[in-house]
Structure 1
Amino acid sequence: MTVPMEYRLASQKFEAFLSEVAEEAGLTTRNQAYTMVEGVLLAFRRRLTPEEGIVFAQVLPPMLRALFITDWDPHAPREQGWDRTVVTREVQQLRRNHNLSPDTAIRDVAAVLRRHVDEAALEKSLARLPQPARDFWSPMAA
């Protein structure tokens, strides 16, 4: 069997994703975009059970999937609150001295993510998660 195209092009697609995130958020570098994306994914992950995380990870492109699950301790206590302001501040605390994530970080990453995944597969996976998790990736959320 040949190597699936999604793996052959993973780095290129990840670079494109980061470039789009930087543009969406008004950031100037891919490094800034990377920190923002990582912060959003980790903040989301902290609120999921491992089973819920696997459901979500299945629809992510390979590099985002890897970023989402890297160093996940499935026994760590889950965060309970989904308040958008609180979660945004959590995103902004990752590498705080180098983090330029705007208050729209979650919305910005969600908008770009939706352009890089199969929309139907994303909606199907989100339908299996609690309502606050679905709302997190809503293109309409502020």
Structure 2
Amino acid sequence: MPMPQEYFHASRDFEAFMEALRRISLLQTTHQCYTMVEAVFHALRCHMTPREALRFADHLPPVLRAIFVSAWDVEAPVLPLTDRAGLQREILALRHNHNLSTPSALEDVGAALHETMDTAEFHRLLEVLPREFASFWR
């Protein structure tokens, strides 16, 4: 079987995502964007069971999938669902001295995903995301 194209083009697709996120968020560098996307993914992940999180990750592009599951303590208790303000506080808590996430970090990451992913795959991603969170990306 040949190598899947999503792996063959993983770096190119990740760079496109990061550039889209930089443009959408108005952050200065993709390094700043990296911390923001990591914070958004980890904040979302804390509110999902491992099964839910892995279903979600399966629909992300490969490099973003790796970021989503990195440094994950699967034994940690699942936090109850929270509102947008609660998620924003969690996002800003990651490396708080070096985190320049925007007030619209949730929406910015969703917009960059929507822009750079296949439309059908993006909609499948929304279908497996908890409904309360999917509303941020619609």
Q: 1:70 maps to what in 2?
A: 70
Identity among equivalent pairs (%): 43
Please tell me the residue identity of whatever aligns with 1:18.
Answer: M
Q: 1:105 maps to what in 2?
A: 105
Please tell me the residue identity of whatever aligns with 1:120.
Answer: A
What's the secondary structure of 2:36's corresponding residue? helix
Maintained 8 Å contact 1:61/1:116: no
Distance 1:128 1:110, change over 3 A: closer
Distance in 1 (alpha carbons) for counterparts of 2:69 and 2:122: 17
Deviation string for 1:12-71 (max 9, x for gaps)? 211121111111111000100000000000011110011111211111100001111112
Distance 1:121 1:17, change over 3 A: closer
Q: 1:119 maps to what in 2?
A: 119
| Residue correspondences, number | 138
Distance in 1 (alpha carbons) for counterparts of 2:8 and 2:42: 25
Q: Which one has more relative contact order, counting CA pairs under 8 Å at least 6 apart?
A: 2
Distance in 1 (alpha carbons) for counterparts of 2:52 and 2:136: 14
Cα RMSD between the aligned structures? 1.6
User: Structure 1: which 4+ aligned runs deviate by more than 6 Å?
Assistant: none
TM-score in terms of structure 1 length: 0.88
Maintained 8 Å contact 1:36/1:91: yes
Please tell me the residue identity of whatever aligns with 2:60.
Answer: L
Distance 1:124 1:14, change over 3 A: closer
Distance in 2 (alpha carbons) for counterparts of 1:124 and 1:29: 29
Distance 1:136 1:52, change over 3 A: farther
TM-fit CA distance, 1:102: 1.0
After TM superposition, the structure 1 = structure 2 runs for residues 1-142 of structure 1, keeping only pairs within 5 Å, are 1-138=1-138
Distance in 2 (alpha carbons) for counterparts of 1:88 and 1:3: 38
TM-fit CA distance, 1:5: 1.8
Distance in 2 (alpha carbons) for counterparts of 1:7 and 1:49: 26
Q: Which runs of 5+ in 2 are unaligned?
A: none
Distance in 1 (alpha carbons) for counterparts of 2:96 and 2:52: 28
Distance in 2 (alpha carbons) for counterparts of 1:111 and 1:43: 17
Maintained 8 Å contact 2:7/2:62: yes
TM-score in terms of structure 2 length: 0.90
What's the secondary structure of 2:75's corresponding residue? coil
